[in-house]
């Protein structure tokens, strides 16, 4: 029966509603370092995080980030979920993922900033250096709130739609492949991905398959960084700053 039926105070969803719920649900991958350490602020903010109905969580840690993300992506694909990532050093507003899902884009990330000098926004297009190697070129000219097309999308605050996951795994056994400071990553379809982190490799590959990545600059995450304390010295971390999107953690 395709219409809702009321049983007392309980409204039973019909087949159309069930289909829409399944279409929008996400598997949220929480990716954390091997020490499983998160800040108090991160732990508190997770209690208010909003996700579409019937969504689920997976925590993956103690692995290199590439294998961790591939593990979460395979589970999302097998169970028919869209994939979301929220890394253990990124904090967001409670409705961040709901707003990312509302864009209906196949691959879209919120905006956050590098947690090291020069603390630039993580929003890059593709360029070439003098040797012809693919490099990241910062995207300029956008205004806060813009949804900006780009090439390299980070995975710390990101949505990947199920249809994209299907195509990626059909072309790449390991869609997230770490290649920084090693060598270009060989691809099964004859391309070579640039020697970059596993999330940038994924979005670069997605664009080669015809999926345009985007950054939603109106959804800003706080990228936590840490200060290191010694007996007579301290490496300072940035103070909380809504423009730079960072918070300093002293431990």
Domain span holding position 98: 11-222
Instruction: Report pLDDT for 190.
Output: 65
Q: Which residues of the chain have pLDDT under 50?
A: 1-3, 5-7, 228-251
Residue 205 tokens read as: 């590959």
Instruction: Report pLDDT for 230.
Output: 46
Structural domain includes residue 18 = yes
Instruction: Report pLDDT for 63.
Output: 73
> Side-chain half-sphere of 175: how many Cα atoms within 13 Å?
26
Structural domain includes residue 2 = no
Structural domain includes residue 207 = yes
Structural domain includes residue 59 = yes
Structural domain includes residue 240 = no
Structural domain includes residue 237 = no
Question: Number of structural domains, the chain?
Answer: 1
Query: Using an 8 Å Cβ cutoff, are 76 and 155 in contact?
Result: no
Instruction: Report pLDDT for 17.
Output: 72
The strand ranges marked E within 53-211 are: 56-61, 82-87, 90-91, 107-111, 124-128, 134-138, 147-149, 157-160, 185-186, 192-193
Burial of 222 (0-12, 13-18, 19+ CB in 10 A): buried
Q: Which residues of 182-212 are buried (b: 16+ CB within 10 A; e: fewer)?
A: eeebebeeeeebbbbbbbbbbbbbbbeeebe
Burial of 85 (0-12, 13-18, 19+ CB in 10 A): buried
- Dihedral, CA of residue 188, residue 194, residue 196 and residue 201, to nearest 10: -40
Secondary structure (3-state) at 84 = strand
Residue 136 to residue 129: CA distance in whole angstroms: 9
| CATH number of the domain bearing residue 181 | 3.90.550.40
Structural domain includes residue 249 = no
> Side-chain half-sphere of 136: how many Cα atoms within 13 Å?
20
Instruction: Report pLDDT for 243.
Output: 40
Of the candidates 111, 185, 115, 95, the residue with the CA atom closest to the CA atom of residue 147: 111
Query: Using an 8 Å Cβ cutoff, are 205 and 69 in contact?
Result: no
Let me know the angle formed at the C-alpha of 96 by 91 and 100, rounded to the nearest 5 degrees: 130
Whole-structure pTM value: 0.81
- Dihedral, CA of residue 106, residue 104, residue 94 and residue 11, to nearest 10: -120
Instruction: Report pLDDT for 61.
Output: 81
Of the candidates 201, 189, 218, 185, the residue with the CA atom closest to the CA atom of residue 124: 201
Q: Where are the alpha helices (DSSP H) in the chain?
A: 15-24, 40-45, 65-79, 96-102, 162-171, 198-208
Q: Which residues of 152-168 are buried (b: 16+ CB within 10 A; e: fewer)?
A: bbbbbbbbbbbebbebb
Of the candidates 169, 128, 155, the residue with the CA atom closest to the CA atom of residue 215: 155
Instruction: Report pLDDT for 246.
Output: 41
Structural domain includes residue 239 = no
């Amino acid at each position: 029966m395709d219409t809702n039926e009321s049983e007392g105070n309980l409204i039973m969803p019909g087949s159309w509603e069930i289909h829409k719920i399944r279409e929008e649900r996400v598997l949220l991958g929480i990716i954390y370092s091997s020490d499983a350490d998160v800040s108090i602020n991160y732990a508190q903010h997770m209690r208010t995080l909003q996700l579409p109905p019937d969504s689920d969580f997976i925590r993956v840690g103690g692995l290199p980030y590439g294998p961790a993300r591939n593990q979460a992506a395979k589970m999302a694909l097998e169970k028919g979920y869209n994939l979301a990532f929220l890394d253990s050093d990124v904090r967001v507003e409670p409705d961040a993922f709901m707003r990312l899902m509302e864009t209906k884009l196949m691959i879209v990330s919120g905006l956050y900033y590098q947690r090291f000098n020069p603390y630039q926004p993580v929003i890059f297009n593709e360029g070439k250096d003098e040797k012809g190697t693919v490099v990241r070129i910062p995207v300029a000219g956008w205004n806060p709130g813009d949804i900006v097309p780009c090439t390299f999308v980070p995975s710390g605050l990101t949505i990947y739609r199920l249809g994209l996951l299907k195509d990626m795994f059909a072309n790449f056994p390991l869609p997230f492949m770490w290649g920084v400071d090693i060598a270009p990553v060989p691809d099964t379809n004859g391309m070579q991905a640039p020697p970059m982190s596993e999330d940038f490799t994924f979005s670069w590959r997605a664009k080669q398959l015809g999926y345009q990545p985007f950054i939603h600059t109106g959804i800003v995450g706080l990228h936590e960084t840490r200060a290191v304390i010694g007996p007579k010295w301290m490496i300072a971390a940035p103070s909380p700053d809504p423009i730079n999107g960072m918070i300093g953690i002293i431990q």
